Every structure is written in C-alpha cells, then in structure tokens.
Structure 1
Amino acid sequence: MGGTVLFFRFELERRGIRSADEFLPPYRRAAERLGLTNVDPAPKTFEGWIYEGRKPQRTFRQVIVEMLGYSIDDLWTEVPEGAAPDFVPLVGTSPTASHAEPGMDLSEMKRSGAMAVRRARNYVLQADRERVGDNTLPLLHDQVAQLVHDYPRVPLAAIWDDLLDAQDQVIFNLETGKHRPSQLGDLNFMAGVLAFLVAKGFNDMEDREQARTMSLLAGAFAKDAEHPGLMALVNGLQSLIEYWADRPGDALFYAQKGAALSSNLNGTVGLWLLGLQARAAAVLGDEGTVRTANREAIDRRGSVVLDDLDQLGGLLTYSQEKQTYYAVESEALLGHGDAELTVQAELAVRGFSDRENPNWAFGDLAGAQCNQALVLLYSGEVDGAADAIRPVLELPPTYRNNGIVVSAQRVRQALMTTSARTAVVARDLQEEIAVYAPRRPALPSGSQR
C-alpha cells in the first residue's frame, strides 16, 4: 500500500493475529456475544480483508466491530506504517454505524473482480474433486437473495464487495463442506446465480472479457446444478453482453440458443430470451424476427407460471414492465415512431417510475426514458424528446453504467441524423450527451466507486 496499511490489519497485528486460524477464535467469541452463529468467514475472505483491503460484507461487519471495538470506517482507513493511530474506540454507539459512502476505484473493482473470476475458474477446472460444504446454507441463501434484490436498485459500487465475498463463501463451501446431493445442487445453483451477477457487473463496468469468462463459469455452475432455467438465463446474459458490445449477430445467437433451451419452461426466462432476440434482430434490421419474437412473447405471457428464479426477482425475472420496455426498444432501434408506439413508450417509462414497485430498476427506467426520447424524435417531437431524456442526463455518475451510457448515445446519434438536427434544442442536447459518459462508468468520483 505504499507505506500505509489498513488500521484493521494494524490492530490485528498489534494483537498478534496474522492468519485466519489466529483470527477465528476471538472472532467466534465476539459472534457468541452478539448471539450469532454460522458467520465464520472463509480463509480466502479473511485474506481478502487483511491483504487486499477488501471491505467485509454486512454479515461480518458487526462481529468484527464487536471483536475489535472500532467502527468499520476507522478499521478500513489507511494509516502510516509504524505510526500509532489515534482512533477512538466505540463506547455506547452503534458499532456498525457508517457515515461514509461506499465505494472504491474502478481499477480496484476490476482487479478484485478478476481474482473472483480466477477463483471460480479454478474450481470449475477441478470439478472432479470431492465437493464439500458445511451447514451454512440458510445464511448463504439470505445473502444471495439480498444481492439479487439489490443489484438492479443500487449503484454497483454499493454491493460489489458483498457480491465477491458471497461468491467466495459459496465456493469455499463447495470445496470444503459435506453435503447431501440435494444440498450440493443448491450450492451450485447459488454459485451460478452469483457468477451471473458478477458477470453482469463486469459488463456494467465495460470489462467485456471478464464478463464473458464469468458468464461461462456461471453456465458451468448452472449445468452442475442441473437447472435448465438458470442455464437458459446465462445464455440470456451472454446475449446481453454481446448486445451492449455492439455485436448483434452474437447477441442473436445466444438469445436463440437460450430460447431453444427454455421452450418447455413455464417461468419468464423464455420471454426474456424472446425480448433479447427482438432487440438483437432490430440492430440487424431484421423486422420479421422482431415481430415474430415480440408476438410470441405476448402470447406466452398469459401462460407463465413463476419459478424459483422469478421468486428471487431482480435480474432473474422478466416483468411485464420490462417486456414492454424491450418491445419498445426493438421498434425504436428500427427507427420507428408513431402515435401507438409513443403510447407504449410512455407506458414503459410509467411502469418503472414507482420505486416501491418490486420490479423497479434504475437501469430499466433510464433505458425506457432513452427509448421514449428516440420514439419522440422519430415522430418529429424534438422538445418532447429533450424532456424525456432529461432525467437520464441528470443521473449521478454512480448510476451511469455502460448500458445507460450507450442508450443515451443512441439518442445523440438520432439527433445527428434526423431532420431535427438543425434545431437549437437538438444541437444543445447533442453537446450535452457528448460529454455524458463519466470517466469511470457506473461509478461516482471521490471516495465512491
């Protein structure tokens, strides 16, 4: 760390603690005082804290604070090596209270994420070894469910460390626990879901290669879990990655592959894959495939029976709001704009405007608003388009993931190529969107990611 260490590491070394074996006994005593069980970190997780500076996920923070007597913010502050820090121990205050905004530098996120890719890859490559775990499945289930819920609702920077730590924990249990076959399948399912989210995170950071690699690993876990729905969902993610990488041919291939796999499934994953087909086909100018896929998705909506992926929600379900958003986007990508499509675009925006809606997602709302701007532009309503995209342009940099930036740039391209390009409003909007992309996509400046 260039002459500095985390106060966490300083305090542990001051107490003679330098390894996971030395850390766990006092940590477990602190957990007992709090009435907590089954909250031991994996050795790799502990090493990530002490040697890589990775911040613990919420499950572990209160135990660490109880054990060491300092706030998490103080413990994860760098101090000069050899100096005697003067942090004040907590007395009569909430040990887990934190007034700092979460976050880390984008390059650090990619580096720590790359380590997760390597770890997952190493496990999959050694799949013939005995698979083991312990009795922490309920805790892991809760962690996975919370991450699935949070992912589309908060900036990536707020959950990235928690996501990587949860993946470490699941793979640690796969490697070292002892489970019945059904439990082993459950762990592989969770590993697949977490790898799916990590891959999506890399895509949001515009790190395509790591996203592609982690998506392959997610597919391997899904196959080990013998879960066709999750396997199809991973194909959808692979389509999504190629779609935002401007490789519509590959995006269509993966969407069709997943659609074939999910043709006999009753959950919403099959509908998502149809929506992905329509969007990719639209970029290719294939109106026939767009119409066929969207019509089939409408026909199948009425016979949906929500499955375990849908019950988890978040990115694992395809709501009616999202289906409308995808259908409008496919038409907008074809350059269409008329009264009926304008109404659909407004419905898509309205569907994501209520934060209390369990299907709300900041990325889907921004995408729907960009699509509405496109449809209005193609209808000749420049002022309406400017109003539609205004909330997107006012998003803090922390929310501007790659998909949102690309969607905004599509509006700029349309402004430059339609008859509205000479209007003052259009020229001003072009200039504003031109500088919209943050230097660190999906991340804020300063202490946040």
Structure 2
Amino acid sequence: MPVLSGLGLIAVLLLAVKPQRGDAPLGKGKRPSRPLTELLGDMVETQDTLFALLERRQTPQQARQLHFLTAVTSGLLAKASHDLADPHAAMLQARTAVLCADQADHNGLRAWLRGLQSMVAYWAGRYAEAVRYAEAGTNIAASAAGTTSVWLPVSAARGYAALGNSTKALSAIRAAEEAWNRVEPDEVDELGGICTFNQPRTLYYAADALAWLPDAADQAVDFSTRAVNAYANPNDPAWAFGDQAGSHSDLAIARIAARDLEGAVEAVRPVLELPPSQRINGIINSVQRVHQAVTRAGLAVEGRDLLQQIEDFTSTPLKALPR
C-alpha cells in the first residue's frame, strides 16, 4: 500500500467517526455517518497493513511517513477502545502510537497522543494520571504550536478540577485560552476530525472542569451555556454529538448546583434521547455525573423521575451492543 493511499484511508476513517455536517440535531434522530462498531474492522486492518509495511525495507523518509500513519491509526483505535469503555485497551493502543510517533520524530503527534492518554485516564477516573499526561504533552506542544497546545492545558484543568484543586484548574483554563493566540496548525491538525481542537471544544472542556468546582458555580453556568450554544448548529464543521452531549450534561450539573432542577431536566433531556449506538463512554460518564449531582444536592426525591431516566439510559451503553 503506497503511503499516500494510507493517508487517504485514514482521512476516510477520521471523517467516518466524526458526524457529518447536515445531520439532525441532538435528540432529533441524529446518527453518526457510520457506527463505531462498523469501523473497527477497517481500523484494525489498516493498522495491520501499516505494520506489515514497516517490516519491509524503507527509505528513511518512507519509514518516517509510515510511522506517522501508524501512530495516527493506533491513536484512532485508542479513541475507539475508549468510546467502548475499555481504558486498558485504549492505553495499550496509545502507547503503541507513542512509540511510532517517536520513530516519526513528530512533536505535534507526540503531544496529540498525550492528549488522548489524558482523556482516557480522565474518563477512567484516574485524575492525577490525566493531569500528568496533559502536562507532559504541554511541554512537547510548546515546540509544535498546533491546536493540541490548547487541548492539553484545558485537559489538565479537568483533571485538577476533579481532584478539587480549583486554583490550578482555573489557571489551566486561562492558559488554554491564551494558547489560542499562538496556535499555528500543523500536520496533525490537517488530518481534521479528532486530530484537531477547536473553540467549541475549549468551551466544553472548561465547562466540564468548572462543573466539578462548587466555588465556581457562576462560571460553570456561563461556560456550559456558551458551550451548548456553540454546539447548537449541527451544520457547523466543529460540531460533534459527543461534545454537544457533554456540554448539555455540564449545564444540567451547573443548574443543579443552583437548585434549578427543572432547568437541569431541560438541559439533559436531549442527551437522554440518544440511541444506544451513540452512548459512548464519555456520554455515559457525563450523564452519570448528572445523577451524582442530583443526589449530592439532596434532590433525590424531587428528581426521582430524572434519576430513573438516567439509570435507564446508562443501562444500555454502546459497549453492550452486539458487534
């Protein structure tokens, strides 16, 4: 397989795992362009083909390109494993990808993979580990200047917030916002899809961090409202159903903190209408955080219908579907 055809196949996979423009809004029959379970076979086959090519004799430039492609493909498989709630497999794929990125000697790719590792650790509840990966990647991203240089500090913010360190969380959010002034898209950004970061995701990650902090309730409402608005248009190239669902969940948590149960129900309702094929790991965890917020706020009696809906929703995650 020529290297350029490998790039083309990876581009197809990136587009396939990202919902296409023109899809219906959240909760209105939206479907991804192709279900994740249909893509896994193509991803694994692509990775196998690239590894087979790496076993052959290559020129130094070809070897670098093949390692770059293999790192990206392994990163996509790490994200797929994460979406299927298998953090162990996700980390194994990510570590394979890091080794390939080192062989490609590409700092932008190294930094992006640290972001993936931070994300996997965060949703697995390993918050200190999530911070460690994010900060390790931030040091690398300083010399790369791609959009990952924004993703990493705001990822660290989520980890710090989950650990209860509001000072470092708020500082990391500010660092992410300031990083936009220095961004210069690189080869990783050019792949698009999950390989690049954007302004709406910055708002969503900041909202996700602030939702952990009781002393940042007003900021949580502000950022989560802005994030929901940023994902309101499914025709926007930056739109993604997972991030939209997370933003709605964060707004629900912020409203629960203000004891606005009716507003929380309104915010999370579109998420609870998602079909099982879209109930990826991040969405399941986000909705479970809403459940926890209701009970912690002492609203279990008033919110029993919402709690039941969440329990029904989370009983059929994507990982439970036949493959």
Please indicate, yes or no, whether the TM-score normalized by the shorter chain is above 0.5: yes
**Separation of aligned partners in 2, 1:336 and 1:397:** 35
From 142, 150, 161, give the equivalent of 2:8.
Answer: 142
Query: Who is 2:246 aligned against?
Result: 367
**Deviations 1:265-301, CA, capped at 9 Å, x for gaps:** 2111111110110000001000111111111111111
Query: Who is 2:26 aligned against?
Result: none
**Separation of aligned partners in 2, 1:340 and 1:329:** 11
**Separation of aligned partners in 1, 2:176 and 2:163:** 20
**Separation of aligned partners in 2, 1:137 and 1:256:** 32
Change (3 A) 1:271 1:260: same
1:434 matches 2:300:
no
Matched to 1:442, the amino acid is L
Specify every segment of 5 or more residues in structure 2 that has no aligned partner in the other structure, as ranges: 20-31
Secondary structure, counterpart of 1:349 in structure 2: helix
Give the superposition deviation at 1:193: 0.4
**Separation of aligned partners in 2, 1:334 and 1:341:** 8
Query: Who is 1:342 aligned against?
Result: 221
**Separation of aligned partners in 2, 1:286 and 1:341:** 15
**Separation of aligned partners in 2, 1:137 and 1:353:** 38
Structure 2 matches for 1:185-204, cutoff 5 A? 185-204=64-83
**Separation of aligned partners in 1, 2:168 and 2:174:** 10
Query: Who is 2:41 aligned against?
Result: 161
Give the superposition deviation at 1:341: 3.6
Query: Who is 1:108 aligned against?
Result: none
**Deviations 1:79-131, CA, capped at 9 Å, x for gaps:** xxxxxxxxxxxxxxxxxxxxxxxxxxxxxxxxxxxxxxxxxxxxxxxxxxxxx
Query: Who is 2:275 aligned against?
Result: 396
Secondary structure, counterpart of 1:436 in structure 2: helix
Matched to 2:314, the amino acid is A
Name the larger-Rg structure. 1
Change (3 A) 1:330 1:244: same
Query: Who is 1:255 aligned against?
Result: 134
Give the superposition deviation at 1:197: 0.8
Specify every segment of 5 or more residues in structure 1 that has no aligned partner in the other structure, as ranges: 1-133
From 308, 311, 315, give the equivalent of 2:187.
Answer: 308
Report the RMSD for the aligned CA atoms in angstroms. 1.7
Query: Who is 1:184 aligned against?
Result: 63
**Deviations 1:175-234, CA, capped at 9 Å, x for gaps:** 23x533222111110100000011111111122221111111010000000011111111
Query: Who is 1:236 aligned against?
Result: 115
**Separation of aligned partners in 2, 1:383 and 1:138:** 53
**Separation of aligned partners in 1, 2:282 and 2:174:** 25
- Retained in 1: the 8 A contact 2:252–2:268? yes
Change (3 A) 1:193 1:369: same
**Separation of aligned partners in 1, 2:6 and 2:270:** 37
Give the superposition deviation at 1:378: 1.1
Greater per-residue helix proportion: 2
Change (3 A) 1:352 1:341: same
Change (3 A) 1:354 1:396: same
Larger relative contact order (Cα-Cα within 8 Å, sequence gap ≥ 6) = 2
Percent identity (aligned): 33
Secondary structure, counterpart of 1:267 in structure 2: coil
**Separation of aligned partners in 1, 2:216 and 2:76:** 34
Secondary structure, counterpart of 2:72 in structure 1: helix
- Retained in 1: the 8 A contact 2:111–2:138? yes
Query: Who is 1:220 aligned against?
Result: 99
Query: Who is 1:171 aligned against?
Result: 51
**Separation of aligned partners in 2, 1:302 and 1:158:** 39
- Retained in 2: the 8 A contact 1:398–1:444? no
**Deviations 1:229-275, CA, capped at 9 Å, x for gaps:** 11111111111111111111111111111111212221111111101
Matched to 1:263, the amino acid is A
- Retained in 2: the 8 A contact 1:235–1:257? yes
**Separation of aligned partners in 1, 2:215 and 2:200:** 20
**Separation of aligned partners in 1, 2:318 and 2:241:** 12
Query: Who is 1:90 aligned against?
Result: none
Matched to 2:41, the amino acid is D
Secondary structure, counterpart of 1:281 in structure 2: helix
Query: Who is 1:268 aligned against?
Result: 147
Matched to 2:43, the amino acid is L
When structure 1 is superposed on structure 2, of 347-356 and 315-324 the one drifting more is 347-356
Secondary structure, counterpart of 1:250 in structure 2: helix
Change (3 A) 1:436 1:336: farther
Change (3 A) 1:330 1:232: same
- Retained in 2: the 8 A contact 1:336–1:375? no
- Retained in 1: the 8 A contact 2:211–2:217? no
**Deviations 1:344-386, CA, capped at 9 Å, x for gaps:** 2122112223222222211111111101111111122111110
When structure 1 is superposed on structure 2, of 337-346 and 322-331 the one drifting more is 337-346
Give the superposition deviation at 1:397: 0.3
Give the superposition deviation at 1:140: 1.0
Give the superposition deviation at 1:398: 0.7
Change (3 A) 1:294 1:401: same
**Deviations 1:123-160, CA, capped at 9 Å, x for gaps:** xxxxxxxxxxx5x1221111011112222323311311
**Separation of aligned partners in 2, 1:382 and 1:220:** 47
Query: Who is 1:210 aligned against?
Result: 89
